[in-house]
Amino acid sequence: MSDSTLRVGLIYPELLGTYGDRGNAVVLVQRARWRGHDAELVEVPASEPIPDSLDVYLFGGGEDDPQSMAAAGMRASAAGIGRARDNGAAVLAVCAGFQLIGHRYDTGDGESIDGLGLVDAVTRAGSPRLIGEIVVEPAEGLPILTGFENHGGRTTLGAGERPLGRVLTGGGNGDGSDGVLRDRLVGTYLHGPVLPRNPALADRLLSWVLGDLAPLDSALEEKLRAQQLDAGSAAGLRKWWQDRRLGRG
């Protein structure tokens, strides 16, 4: 951080804000303030360049046309985002945002949308569309994550990348994993929004920027997480039973 104020950047909310991902920014700002840190939510509209002075960059979800427009602005600001990353900034990219931090997204209409290339990943439109509760077992030191997915993309990570975690219920990347996890970077298909549902993940992002964090009472958040975990697990069990019955004819 360049000064004492945490700057949480909500990037292109009018393009990448279809599924309530603004809530991720609100949660990060509030959980920082609860710990006594000055924090502000910085909205970056699509008509403006993305500044290199943010501490957290949040890229949310959107449909193909807004995603294409967002990609152009993100590529134009790639150098600034790179400088911010070099200076310790963190990134959370959800759904379309996750696809756009990779090399490209090949749409169902044959268009190829170039991304930022922050991670070695390629996404292609697939079928069927993946919609519903998703439960992910993280690869590193976090409790099980819950979310809601709504996408048609199938994301392939490069050999040097590692996913955020293993899918227990839902589709995720389409290969049994979800997202990507790098130094100070998370990509995922989990909406919900993901950070209100999973306070430990919110605190992991904050710790990358603020360092060690004082504990918070997250009893209400954990109650919500437990409820959604039950709902996601039940949905997965129902799907397994339906698939089993269909397989029997």
Residues 89/2, Cβ–Cβ less than 8 Å: no
- 34 C-beta neighbours (distance < 10 Å), count: 12
Rounded distance between C-alpha atoms, residue 48 and residue 153, angstroms: 28
In the block, tokens 């997204």 appear at 105
Cβ-proximal residues to 215 (8 Å cutoff; 6+ apart), any chain: none
Q: Which of 37, 95, 103, 151 is the catalytic position? A: 95
Residue 163 phi, psi (nearest 5):
-70, 165
Specify whether 191 is catalytic.
Answer: yes
- Which residue among 37, 103, 151, 191 is the active-site one? 191
**To which residue do tokens 């920082």 refer?**
32
Positions annotated as catalytic residues are 95, 191
